[in-house]
Each structure stands twice: as C-alpha cells, then as structure tokens.
Amino acid sequence: MKKNYIPGLSILLFSIITTCGLQAQTKIGLRSGLNISNLNYYFNENKVEDQEAQNKIELGIFLEQGLHSKFDYVFEVNYFESGISIPSIPFNLTTKSLESNSILKFRILKGSFEPNVFAGIGINRYLQAKDSQGFTYDFQEDDIHAFGIGYLLGFQFDYNIKKNVIFFDARFKNSLSNFIDNATNEDFTIQVKKQETVLSLGFKYKLN
C-alpha cells in the first residue's frame, strides 16, 4: 500500500522543484575581501595573552537561489587565509584553506537597495599551515585536523542595477572544531580555535 504513494510524492516533489526553478530567481557571483582572522591559542584551556589578529584575504564564488519572496539559499566555495601573531614570543602562524558554506538569507526590504541578514554552516579544508618557528604541520597526525566545521552570521546590502547586483557583505565566522587539539596529552594541552570577521565586496549576475 505504501508503494502507491511513491509515484504521487515523486510528482509532487518534481512539481515543487520545477515551480521554484521557473518562478524564483537564480544568481551567480564573485566576492572578495578582507579577512580579520584569529587562530587563538589555548594552553591548558587558558587563552594565551598578547595575541594579535592578522589581516588576510578571502576570495569566493557562489550560487544564490531564490526560495521565497523573502528567503534565498546560497552555496559558496571560498579560498581564504588565516593567521595569528604573538609578539611577546615572537611567533606567528598562517594557514591557507578552502571552505564550502550553505547559507540561508533573509531579505528585510525589497527594492533597488536591499538589506539582508543571513546565517549558515561551513566546512573547511586546511591546505597548508606554517609558522615562524619552521614547524611542519602534518595533517596526518591525530592532533592536527585537516577539516573543520563552523557557523557564520552576517548581513549584506544589495544594490540592484537591472540584471546585475553589487553588494557589501560583513560576516562573523566561528569554528566549532579545533585546528590543533592535543587534549589527550598527559603533561599539557594545546588548542587552536579559529574566529574570523570578513568584510567583502561582490558582484552578482541574475540568470533569469
């Protein structure tokens, strides 16, 4: 009996997807900006003092799909760099990463000028890490993690010019997983947690 519902559900799902695709707007775009990054060090769960953020870059491409008059879904792929400096040692750490973000965006006002707020989750893959002490970061080791997961919150201002959109984007990104985490060490623990504030400009093109 349950099998009789499958064709009907399939047709309903196909109809919803088709309707959304025909009625909702699809955009593709590019963004780039300043990444004010913190790879915060913790020794024995205490945050190391005298840490300074580093200004790095973030570049990305994205697809934005309208879901509703107020909501859009955005899928991003970004390249970014992160870092931290501890002048008192002295010491600095720099990483290079790729990330993919899934974002739900809410449009506050509709018109030529559109303010938006958004929230999302992201997965990043560390490509490279190096520090001023010459330490080699081996992503095969148990306490150095090549992948991370986190969340992001932000706002965006869109300015519509016919089929084109120019926007300003400000976001806060916080990692829920640690880049370095050797909490199993009997003598001491070292953790590195990533937090970033990103300010960017971008361009969108309306496909329909």
CATH number for 26-206 (one of 1.10.3430.10, 2.40.160.20, 1.20.58.1180, 3.40.50.2300): it is 2.40.160.20
Alpha carbons 171 and 200: distance in angstroms, whole number:
9
Q: Show pLDDT as tens, one digit a residue, over the chain (208 residues).
A: 444 555 565 555 555 545 555 457 899 999 999 999 988 888 887 888 888 999 999 999 999 999 988 999 999 999 999 999 988 888 888 999 999 999 999 999 998 999 999 999 999 999 988 888 888 788 777 678 889 999 999 999 999 998 899 999 999 999 998 888 775 566 777 888 889 999 999 999 999 8
Q: Model's pTM, two decimal places?
A: 0.82
- One DSSP character per residue, 98-120 reads EEEEEEEEEES--SSEEEEEEEE
Number of continuous H segments (helices) and E segments (strands) in the chain = 1, 10
